[in-house]
Structure 1
Amino acid sequence: MPKRSSSGYLSVPSKKRRRLAGDFAAFNPEYDVANSQAPATDSIINATSVSTRPPQRRRAATPSLASLASKRFAFYFSTLLGSEENQRHAAQYLRILPDTILARLVDDLKKYRPTFMSNGFISAYFLRPPSVALDSTLTGVNKHTITGIQRAGSQLTSLSLRGFDKFSDATFASIFPSLPCLETLVLKGCTKVGERTVGAITKSCHQLRVVNLNHTTPTAASLGRLLVSCKKLEVFKIAAVPKIASDLPNRFLIYDDWRLFQTPQFLASLARSEPGIVSTCLTSLKLRYIATPDLPLISLLGHFPALRRLDASFTKVTSLSPSRFLEHPIRPLSLPDLEKLNLTAIPLKPGSAGLVHFVANFPSLRTLSIGGIGGQENPTILRDRDLALLTSRLSGESSNAWPPVRVPLENVNLAGNSRLEGPALQYFVRKLGRYCRELNLASLKGVTSDTLEGLLPQPDTPPPHARIASENDAYPEEWDDNTSCLEHLNLASTSVDDGAVPFISSCRRLRSLNISKTKISSEITAPRLCLV
């Protein structure tokens, strides 16, 4: 037992006392900034100093017992069901398994043993309401499995069938008359789903809130009837539906023809209903890869006043000028207040100035993707003057309000616009880019190290929107309102070099950084960008 000192406390070894020698925070001339003898390698910590903090180590969440048991059962599925006694024992518990755990077990079986489940096994245990989810990785699914879903009846509220391209349109259509309470429906990749199936859905499933028909083959007329009949529909995805190409302008866009405004039928309908309003509940619309020539996007938006998220990337939108349909003197329709807008690779006509005015109509916009404007044929449509004008409008500098009110952008994608150069990009980064959480500037040769100077703290320009710190944030006590909000930055295939490192390092919230195919050397990246 160690000897006690006269004060009654345990004595501390002399070695430790030597380590603690000297007063806490005592003056040290070696690190005195004003001292002319200070080492030349020392630098004042300021806005441009490079962060050398070690990366935060995140602890993986401990899986629950139910998750571990589900994975174990799925991994040893073939062994557990090797004998009849084991099958009876497993069947007894599978029938009483809670719905939440059953859904997790289905996902684990898809991952570890997708080829071991037969039609009988799936039909007996996994076609239970309120949710059924199957995909083409389950080789035991056949026509009888699909038609057996109708036995769930009115208790089924969620149905997901993905990638089944071998079953006919009639097979899918036969199950929906028995499912009147469906709220979520996903038929993505079921390429033979067509007009007959969508017609059955239209007649029977009026409670739908989410519909995903990506990569299916219904007609535009059947989709229009589905939108009108499902009054509660909130999410509608029809990406890569080929039959819309020639049918959409004449069938899907009700009242879009200017001549309809002059007919007695239209004037009589003004007293009965709101013409042109297809859905007042739709908040998300996905039209990706729709090949309709000259898609009238603005007229389409007038049909959905509650729309918040629109994906029209890789479509044939050639003009974004105001539509005559929206400017009609009798009852014009206004554009919805979008929060997400994806216009990647739309083939706007050269000299079209409608993009800037169109995007500026959405004061609540948070996600904007305008990469590769002009498409593969002409990717040089978006130029410096367009980006500068767009930045001025979205940052609020073009208005007379003071202080300027910025659009609360969080995610911006400008990748692939090859005509954008230094001054306009630098202005964009300083006024908008530094306040985003995600910024994609990939394949922009005009992005240099000087472009990123706007990422440095700017005391006179606080962020346009408040950011709530989460428990996963690293070093939140060191942050202030002047620090860039960037968390994900993509600079792949740009012209940045080692001079950009101080600017990037000032982004303390940065979590991921892509600098592939740039001029930044690995010797600089490893020790100085350790935060990422």
Structure 2
Amino acid sequence: MSKRKSTKTASSAKRQRTRGLPAFGAATEDDLINLAPSSVPSASALSQRTLPTIGAVPSLTALCARVFVANIRELGKNHDEWEHTRSWLKLLPDLLAPRVFAMLRSSCPTILSHAFITAHFLRGPSIMLTNDLPGVERSTISAIAKAGETLRELYLTGFDKFADTVFAALLPSLPSLRVLVLRGCTKVGSKTAEAAARSCPSLTTVNLNYTAVPPVSLAPLITACPQLHVLKLAGISSWTDAGFSKLLSAIGPDVKLEHLHTLKLRQTGLSETSIYPLLLRCPNVRRLDISFTFVHRPPPFVTIPPMNLEKLSLTSTMISSVDIIALMQHLPNLKTLALGALGGGQGSSVSVGNTSAMTMSDQTLRALTDVLVNYEHLENVNLVGNTKLGLTSRGNGALSDFILRVGRKCRRLNLGGIQFLRSSDLAGLLSDSGQQASPRLEELILNNTSVDDEATPYLSCCHSLVTLELAGTKITNAGLFPIIDACPRLEKLDLTSCRGVGVVDRRRFFEVWEQERSG
């Protein structure tokens, strides 16, 4: 390993050699909390690298598919070769068609015209189309009907220009459908919901996030699909308690969703008045997301068996700290807990940007830590945007105690937007009551915190890290190089708005590191 170059001239020269095509990345939906515009970077600077595969040798089928996808543009240049290729594509087994299509969608979406898609890939047990495919037309959606009874899973995402009738007309041809995902198809409404109820009684998963389905239209679907396991209804801003009460009345007081284990009502205009009566009909729920709603009181887990709950997301709700602590004591099998921006009230920019609006204090975090430290199954904790944390503590404060006793045992930890989080608070990553075992962390989000190069020795001990997000922090090249040296599994590094790192270097920092190592 070469010595780190410290002069401005050397650093400038190294930055000049790293100019190239940027690689962009985006945060997941659950990580975003609508922070104030001034604190949100205008462009992503996600640096990525592909590590060599270690373990099982890829199957011959997988290798053939990779070679085909890598050479498809060359094959298309010769008319005879292309016609020969198309004849072979028609012989592709239905089980392999979705896999090959997924690879083409990822690597070369622009070649996937309407004619090409409909001729070769609208078949098999699973079909997935997204609005970023330029070749998908209204007729492409309609052509899915030819898959008929063989289709088990249908994923249509982001089609905001196609009318409700387009999707409704499709479903009567798909009686064996078990998974229906229409996320972001904003014109999907009552006609589609009613068609699903009439034609697809075997549905186990329904995702209508960011659609326009009115609550009462779901009543026939809920009663007609007794095996429903997953119901996702996030981001339907028109929903109110008044409208939701019609759904509860329509399904009747005696209907129980015995098999429902995942319920998502995130980012709706509902309160506990609507949500909890429905929840009481779901005695076996294991995953619940009611973030960004008008909920003020904790879920009624006194009457619902809490032992099976694995995921609970209460981000940006108005539930009090006292109720949060009392609730946590009844959920020993939690794997995922999201308590971001508590007090934010539907995550509005104004309230989230206002520290005084937050209800998660250092005192609350200490009490929460005392509870969570005994949760053996906890893997994912999200405290993003709790801007009051760290405000009153220094040294061995609540954040430091939480990271030492709980955070280092998680696989995913989101502390983004906690502006008073300092590098010293991460010291708990280095040791656990004298034990030198490496933290389990695979994903660590520290965006928009006060972290700087003093965090390097603490982050460097997280040898299992795959994703590290440091957007808007004070980290520099000198602090980042040892982290990459010590974290061989690290693949994604978010350096958006890190002023200590060159603008161009932020998007290709792994190459900067490689050049530094070999220089």
TM-score (norm 1): 0.69
- 3-state SS, counterpart of residue 99 of structure 1: coil
Given that 2:461 and 2:486 are in contact with CA atoms closer than 8 Å, whether structure 1 keeps it comes out as no
Alpha-carbon distance, 1:491 to partner: 3.0
Q: Name the residue aligned to 1:218.
A: 213
**Per-residue displacement from partner, 1:384-422 (whole Å, max 9, x unpaired)?**
222122222222xxxxxxxxx434221112121111123
Taking only the aligned residue pairs, the percentage that are identical comes to 36
Q: Are residues 218 and 488 of structure 1, via their aligned partners in 2, closer, same or farther at CA, if it must alter by over 3 Å? A: closer
State how far apart, in whole Å, the 2-side matches of 1:287 and 1:301 are.
11
Q: Name the residue aligned to 1:526.
A: 481
Match of 2:439 among 481, 484, 505: 484
Alpha-carbon distance, 1:57 to partner: 10
Measured on the aligned residues, the alpha-carbon RMSD in Å equals 3.3
Higher helix residue share = 2
- Superposed, which structure 2 residues align to 1:1-400 within 5 Å? 58-60=51-53, 64-72=62-70, 74-76=72-74, 78-80=76-78, 82=79, 88-111=83-106, 114=109, 116-245=111-240, 247-253=242-248, 275=254, 277=256, 279-293=257-271, 296-320=274-298, 323=300, 332-335=303-306, 337-346=308-317, 348=318, 353-375=322-344, 376=348, 377=351, 379-395=357-373
Alpha-carbon distance, 1:236 to partner: 1.9
Alpha-carbon distance, 1:86 to partner: 5.3
Alpha-carbon distance, 1:335 to partner: 4.4
Given that 1:282 and 1:304 are in contact with CA atoms closer than 8 Å, whether structure 2 keeps it comes out as yes
**Per-residue displacement from partner, 1:282-308 (whole Å, max 9, x unpaired)?**
222222221225665444432222222
State how far apart, in whole Å, the 1-side matches of 2:405 and 2:433 are.
13
Question: Gaps (5+ residues) in structure 2?
Answer: 1-48, 488-519
Q: Are residues 385 and 299 of structure 1, via their aligned partners in 2, closer, same or farther at CA, if it must alter by over 3 Å? A: farther
Given that 1:306 and 1:336 are in contact with CA atoms closer than 8 Å, whether structure 2 keeps it comes out as no
Alpha-carbon distance, 1:498 to partner: 5.0
Partner amino acid for 2:440? C
Given that 2:384 and 2:414 are in contact with CA atoms closer than 8 Å, whether structure 1 keeps it comes out as yes
* Greater Cα shift, 428-437 or 101-110: 101-110
Q: Are residues 187 and 230 of structure 1, via their aligned partners in 2, closer, same or farther at CA, if it must alter by over 3 Å? A: same
Given that 2:403 and 2:428 are in contact with CA atoms closer than 8 Å, whether structure 1 keeps it comes out as yes
TM-score (norm 2): 0.71
Given that 2:178 and 2:204 are in contact with CA atoms closer than 8 Å, whether structure 1 keeps it comes out as yes
Q: Are residues 230 and 406 of structure 1, via their aligned partners in 2, closer, same or farther at CA, if it must alter by over 3 Å? A: same
Q: Name the residue aligned to 1:18.
A: none
**Per-residue displacement from partner, 1:23-51 (whole Å, max 9, x unpaired)?**
xxxxxxxxxxxxxxxxxxxxxxxxxxxxx
State how far apart, in whole Å, the 1-side matches of 2:203 and 2:95 are.
22
Q: Tell me, yes or no, if structure 1 residue 441 matches structure 2 residue 415.
A: yes
Alpha-carbon distance, 1:201 to partner: 0.5
| Larger RCO of the pair (alpha carbons < 8 Å, separation 6+) | 2
Alpha-carbon distance, 1:173 to partner: 1.3
State how far apart, in whole Å, the 2-side matches of 1:168 and 1:255 are.
26
- 3-state SS, counterpart of residue 156 of structure 2: strand
- 3-state SS, counterpart of residue 413 of structure 2: strand
Partner amino acid for 2:270? T
Question: Gaps (5+ residues) in structure 1?
Answer: 1-55, 257-264, 267-274, 396-404, 463-479
Alpha-carbon distance, 1:119 to partner: 4.2
**Per-residue displacement from partner, 1:413-436 (whole Å, max 9, x unpaired)?**
212111112322222223211211
Q: Are residues 285 and 164 of structure 1, via their aligned partners in 2, closer, same or farther at CA, if it must alter by over 3 Å? A: same
Alpha-carbon distance, 1:363 to partner: 0.9
- 3-state SS, counterpart of residue 444 of structure 1: coil
Q: Tell me, yes or no, if structure 1 residue 431 matches structure 2 residue 431.
A: no
Q: Across the two proteins, how many residue pairs are aligned to each other? A: 420
Given that 2:260 and 2:285 are in contact with CA atoms closer than 8 Å, whether structure 1 keeps it comes out as yes
State how far apart, in whole Å, the 1-side matches of 2:154 and 2:146 are.
13
State how far apart, in whole Å, the 1-side matches of 2:74 and 2:173 are.
36
State how far apart, in whole Å, the 1-side matches of 2:474 and 2:162 are.
52
Partner amino acid for 1:393? V
